[in-house]
Amino acid sequence: MNRGRLITIEGIDGAGKTTLAAELLDALTNRGLNVKLLREPGGVPASERIRELVIDPALHVSARTEALLYAAARAQLVEEAIDPLLAGGTWVLLDRFIDSSLAYQGGGRQLGIDAVRTINDFAIRTAWPDRTLLLLIDPQRGRSRSHSRARVPDRLEREQDDFFERTIAAYVELASQDPERIRRLDATQPPDEVLATALREIADLL
């Protein structure tokens, strides 16, 4: 049996990751692929518990603790879901993965990309994405979209513009370092155009 593919979707809040993930799930399923959509942090029970901690706006969580919690949730997701699914030939779509930590904690929290990469290398072992779709959008526009949702903003969504500017800068740096894996998408385009671009960027994997 052929091993499945791991496709991750990245970007700041409000970039349209969840919308693209759902549309890609339908598009790839319609092409006859067995596809599973998961989210981060979360996806399996233990990781969902960690998610509750890390996004709770009522808690004070230090930057290093935050990075370690995300890595812990990721390690559990890889062991319990991602590795078995890929081994069984299933394609996995992930709404966020390791690049989120590299950008948010490495860049946004200013812990350093290399330091955060080290703990995440330990967490995911060999489960690196086959392709990462990076949705790029101006921080203020992304925040406007995010704040229009009918729910209470989580702990990270309450950060200021400079935090998101550092996060986007880290994402762009990561894409520049690994352009074969990380493909940039203009998140300001209509959803159907974003989907079409995403499908072109993973066409060689199909």
**Which candidate, 159, 127, 121, places its Cα nearest to that of 143?**
159
Segment 187-199, tens digit of pLDDT: 999 999 999 999 9
pLDDT score, position 71: 98
Average pLDDT, the chain: 92
CATH class of 6-205: alpha beta
Q: Is the pLDDT of residue 2 over 70?
A: yes
- Cβ burial of 83 (10 Å; 0-12, 13-18, 19+) is middle
Q: Which residue has the higher pLDDT, 152 or 120?
A: 120
pLDDT score, position 22: 96
Q: Which residue has the higher pLDDT, 142 or 203?
A: 203
pLDDT score, position 172: 97
pLDDT score, position 160: 76
pLDDT score, position 83: 97
